[in-house]
Structure 1
Amino acid sequence: MPRGAPGVARRRPQTRAALLKAALEVFAEHGFHAATIEQICERAGYTRGAYYSNFAGKDELFLALFDEHSERIVRRLSEAIDALTPEECTLPRIAELAARIEPDERDWYVVTTEFTLRAIRDPQTAWVLARHDERLRAEIARGLTLVLRRAGRELTVDADRFARLVVALREGGLAQSYVEPEALPPGTLEREFLAPLLEASTRRLGAPNRAR
């Protein structure tokens, strides 16, 4: 093994984290398309060689950001839900936790919206993004099923479809909130409508199927 390789291996996660952080900042400031690899490297304090040892290009970098952001959101929500007592595990409380929007969410929303527009125009990009969306929805569906069970309820609709609805409510709400923050603070729609949606789309465990 070449001399110094262990040190390089130890530094790799640190380098990757710095590049991801810098990329989000640069993408948010300049836009995904206008941002350059040179700007990202300069912001992170690394060379192009360090960049290309971690990412093949901007698309791969964005998708790494997507996965990192998804994992962070799911982890934060899971930790908040795990901290609930049995008495606190109610549909309104679950909706309140889901409505929490972190202060740094605006930058991510701007970046992901631009990439989504690109995916709408380009089938190959759409296919790749859809696979990452699918993994996120699976985590949402799994977590929702577990927390509803703790609340003594179960979905009466397809979990993946309901996860799509939750994502649509969040992203559609944020689009309006960032345009009209005073009229619609982030998280407002989830606080007002997610609990009723859960009530209408679930039943108590052991209850008979609803008539169709």
Structure 2
Amino acid sequence: MPKGETKRRPRTRAALLQAALETFAEHGFRAAAIEQICERAGYTRGAFYSNFSSKEELFLALFDAHSDRIVRRMTELVDSIATEDLTVQSLVEVLCEVEPAERDWYLVTTEFTLHAIRDPQAAWVLARHDARLRAELARALTDHLARAGRTLTADPDDVARLLIAIREGGLAQSYVEPEQLPPGRLEQRFLEPLLTALTTDARTP
């Protein structure tokens, strides 16, 4: 493979991912055509198929990139808090952060989840990527709570599932009624007592 092509590949892949996110959010995962993604990104079908074998693979690449960015952002924000100031409340504030661009991702991932529920093979693959996200979230949450002097009393993977369910359910209601329930508001009300109930003081003998 020519050196120039090797250097261009990450740029091409990034452009296709961004174009896919915008196209999926605008037209829906099932309705979006590969040609529309390529046109938006400014690349050919050949460039698409040299990076992805299908729309499903493209979505899963988006899923992993989004998961990595969310966990990395959470870790950066928590790490910026001095240990003596880190509490369950301050951790919850980080967990409840919702960026404006999250709405597009919510539209895309919700539709793909419905697609996976109908398609056993897609469900199996999505579950593998979900598990990877939960493992990263559970590890980060356990580490951050330890810094705050708290230890989980429930299985970390189950807690990660619960946090994801609360976030996704809260966002669904917020995007339907954004003025009555701004994104993140529901989590802010209930995550602190929930995490407090699911942890114990690690400093208690």
What does 1:21-170 correspond to in 2, within 5 Å? 21-170=18-167
| Paired position in structure 2 for 1:174 | 171
User: SS in structure 1 opposite 2:18?
Assistant: helix
Q: Percent identity?
A: 67
CA positional deviation for 1:206: 4.9
User: SS in structure 1 opposite 2:151?
Assistant: strand
Structure showing greater radius of gyration is 1
**Distance in 2, Cα, partners of 1:157 & 1:11:** 46
Aligned residue pairs: how many? 205
CA positional deviation for 1:112: 0.4
Q: Are 1:194 and 2:197 matched, yes or no? A: no
User: SS in structure 2 opposite 1:76?
Assistant: helix
TM-score by length of 2: 0.98
**Distance in 2, Cα, partners of 1:179 & 1:196:** 26
User: SS in structure 2 opposite 1:139?
Assistant: helix
TM-score by length of 1: 0.95
Unaligned runs of 5+ in 1: none
**Distance in 2, Cα, partners of 1:200 & 1:72:** 28
1:21-70 alpha-carbon deviations (Å, 9 max, x no partner): 00000001111001001000000000000000000010000000000000
CA positional deviation for 1:87: 2.5
**Distance in 2, Cα, partners of 1:84 & 1:99:** 16
Unaligned runs of 5+ in 2: none
User: SS in structure 1 opposite 2:130?
Assistant: helix
Question: Do 1:176 and 1:184's aligned partners in 2 also have CA atoms closer than 8 Å?
Answer: yes
